[in-house]
């Protein structure tokens, strides 16, 4: 399954739709207007909350984001590293070992779970907004989409202060 994750050009809340390659809505991302933690909520087409993604409130040198399931249980944490010149991001506190193979802000990267490639991420170069194409199995897609949103939240936090 392949989906497109595109931030809206103008959105006060950071909301967007995630679509398949035919333009059909697969997930909805809703953000809050005023959120110091850049909270975003990932919903399926039926309106069920799948994940809540939020940044750590205060970041000194290492930036972090957290992914919670629809029931509020922490699923994992994502962080960059101090002096992150290579755009590397790390996933930890998960039940599985997850690694992002490649630089997130480069053209292509892979998401590896327990030593097996489970997703491919392609970054599209769009001057006005962040745009990604994500390929994964349908059962993995909600979490993989949440992971991309978490990393994008960290990048936005770094770029916007």
In whole angstroms, give the CA distance from residue 97 to residue 115: 8
Domains and CATH numbers, the chain: 2-160 (2.40.160.200)
Closest CA to 88 of 78, 76, 80, 97: 80
Question: What's the pLDDT score for residue 10?
Answer: 47
Tell me the per-residue pLDDT of 109-133, one tens digit each, with 9 for 90 and over: 899 999 999 999 998 876 656 688 9
Tell me the per-residue pLDDT of 2-13, one tens digit each, with 9 for 90 and over: 999 887 554 545
Q: What is the pTM of this model?
A: 0.86
């Amino acid at each position: 399954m392949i989906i497109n994750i595109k931030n809206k050009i103008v959105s006060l809340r950071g909301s967007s739709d995630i679509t398949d390659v035919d333009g059909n809505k697969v997930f909805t991302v809703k953000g809050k207007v005023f959120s110091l933690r850049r909270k975003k909520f990932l919903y399926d087409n039926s309106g069920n909350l799948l994940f809540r993604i939020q940044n750590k409130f205060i970041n000194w040198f290492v930036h972090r984001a957290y992914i919670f399931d629809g029931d509020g249980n922490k699923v994992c944490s994502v962080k960059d590293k101090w002096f992150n010149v290579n755009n590397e991001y790390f996933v930890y506190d998960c039940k599985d070992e997850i690694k992002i193979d490649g630089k997130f802000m480069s053209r292509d990267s892979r998401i590896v779970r327990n030593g097996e490639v489970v997703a491919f991420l392609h970054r599209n170069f769009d001057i006005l907004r962040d745009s990604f194409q994500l390929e994964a199995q349908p059962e993995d897609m909600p979490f993989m989409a949440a992971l991309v949103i978490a990393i994008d939240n960290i990048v936005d936090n770094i770029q916007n202060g």
